[in-house]
Amino acid sequence: MLAPLLFSCVTARSLDDGNPRQRGVRRSGAVAPGLAGLAMLFAATTTASAQTPPKQAVKGEQMQSASAASGGGDKASVEEVAPPPPQPVRTEILAFENWTVTCREFAAGGPPRTCQAVLQVVQQQQQEGGPPQVLLAWILSREGQGAVTSTLQTPTGVVIAPGVELALGKAAARKLAYTACEARCAAVFAFDDAFAKEAAAAESAQAAIAATNGKTIRFTFPVTGFDRAWAALRK
């Protein structure tokens, strides 16, 4: 049984730079945990960091004995602190209908120019005063003059093995395999010129995912503005 859903697409701020971590996922009967009905927010993850107990100082005779036993003098232990990430010298944000392109340029000797084109699908009905509920995100990323990488993020609570089906306009649907499923499930795939032509010619797209209740959930959303977003991404 198909459960077609229609959602609106809004201009979004850029997501984190870089591509999502790609991790192997089990595909045989594997299920990504999530909220029922697939109408939930992308849950935020928390990471716990291990804490090392403080070292006790050795004083007086104990220090001398420890030095003598080791056969050498005292050596200072210096913790290496990672340098802060380089900050962009210029950030440009451009809106093209349903797409938002964010490009960052760095000083000479720093990282290459990075750009992201982002489209988000949000739930039409929202609780009064509550934030938009992002159900699906499509991210095109490029670093320097490298190839464009495409990432389709979906809710969790899906069956992993079938992956995601993405159809642009009247073109045949493409099946995309999930590459990671943590706070969100993500399908990362190469975005070639043929795919770009289909997206530029389409007014809307449809993404289909397999829910754990056996139904297929379809998201239909506009993709207009892609041609200009694609041109800005490939400057």
What's 150's domain CATH number? 2.60.40.1880
Per-residue pLDDT for the chain (235 aa), expressed as one digit of tens each?
A: 444 444 445 433 333 444 433 344 444 445 555 544 444 433 333 233 333 334 444 344 443 444 444 444 454 556 788 888 888 888 999 999 999 999 999 898 888 889 999 999 988 665 666 777 888 999 999 988 888 999 999 998 899 999 999 999 999 999 999 999 888 999 998 888 888 999 999 999 999 999 999 999 999 999 999 999 999 998 8
- Residue 64 counted as domain residue: no
- Residue 58 counted as domain residue: no
Spatial distance between the Cα atoms of 214 and 46, rounded to a whole number of angstroms: 30
- Residue 66 counted as domain residue: no
Q: Tokens for 60? A: 């007086």
Q: What's the pLDDT tens digit per position in 42-74?
A: 333 323 333 333 444 434 444 344 444 444 445
pTM of the full structure? 0.64
Count of helix runs (H) and strand runs (E) in the chain: 3, 13
- Residue 46 counted as domain residue: no
- Residue 202 counted as domain residue: yes
- Residue 162 counted as domain residue: yes
Our count of domains for the chain comes to 1
- Residue 136 counted as domain residue: yes
Q: Name the nearest CA neighbour of 176 among 158, 201, 157, 193.
A: 158
- Please measure the distance between the N-terminal and C-terminal CA atoms of the chain and give it in whole angstroms: 44
Q: Which domain holds residue 167?
A: 2-41+84-233
